Amino acid sequence: DTAVSQTPKYLVTQMGNDKSIKCEQNLGHDTMYWYKQDSKKFLKIMFSYNNKELIINETVPNRFSPKSPDKAHLNLHINSLELGDSAVYFCASRASERTGELFFGEGSRLTVL
Amino acid sequence: GENVEQHPSTLSVQEGDSAVIKCTYSDSASNYFPWYKQELGKRPQLIIDIRSNVGEKKDQRIAVTLNKTAKHFSLHITETQPEDSAVYFCAASLGPAAGNKLTFGGGTRVLVKP
């Protein structure tokens, strides 16, 4: 069973389009994250949700809007895609009662043409 | 906010030699320091971690040391093998009051030459 699953794994789209990436975890964790990994492999946190509540919102353009319908799901919607949005987006989850292992999904590679 | 610096950015070693990666962090409130390994095209996965109340931790061929006073921590891989080739990330985490935010270093690409 996949602990953290993301869909789609690959996404190729044109500039200006709107797209969504979905994430689900079956670990029973309370906290979920979105990270962006650029072409230089740098991993940067974008958002964090704890029990459906937004707790971390880094300096991310407001074209990016996360949504957490329940604590097992955290989706990412991106409006008006730009070339610079091309990256691998990783969803991750972690139990919140203490700091501990971050479980990553397989990543969603977004290519904006 | 927390800032994590990682060096070197690339590291090439001969199989059987040791590899050392060093990281520094800026926020003295950080209390948890994990290391992740990311193989090509795969997800980052935890390989070892250390908490602020411990100075050293070892797991087979990998070990991590932490110097809280100097705010730096290091990963040591001994007897390197080709399968150790990957990108390694250090990270530092603030506590629950800061949302357990995990900040990653820039990564070190390790190449183990057979």
The radius of gyration computed from the CA coordinates of chain B, to the nearest angstrom, equals 14
Alpha carbon distance A33, A103 (integer Å): 10
Residue of B42, B49, B100 lying closest to A96 (CB–CB): B100
pLDDT in tens, B37-77: 999 999 999 999 998 888 899 999 999 999 999 999 999 99
pLDDT in tens, A33-58: 999 999 888 999 999 888 888 888 88
Average pLDDT over residues B84-93: 96
**A94: nearest CA in chain B?**
B100
Q: Does A99 touch chain B (CB under 8 A)?
A: yes
DSSP structural state of residue A27: S
Beta carbons of A41 and B109 less than 8 Å apart: yes
Alpha carbon distance A75, A69 (integer Å): 8
What the block records as the tokens of A97 is 């009662």
Residue A96: what pLDDT? 63
Q: Does B42 touch chain A (CB under 8 A)?
A: yes
CA nearest neighbour of B33 among B63, B86, B88, B73: B73
CA nearest neighbour of A51 among A94, A6, A105, A5: A94
Alpha carbon distance A23, B102 (integer Å): 19
Average pLDDT over residues B66-92: 96
Q: Does B96 touch chain A (CB under 8 A)?
A: yes
3-state secondary structure at position A75: strand
Q: pLDDT class for A60, splitting at 50, 70, 90?
A: confident
DSSP structural state of residue A98: S
Amino acid occupying residue A52: K
A97 pLDDT higher than 60: no
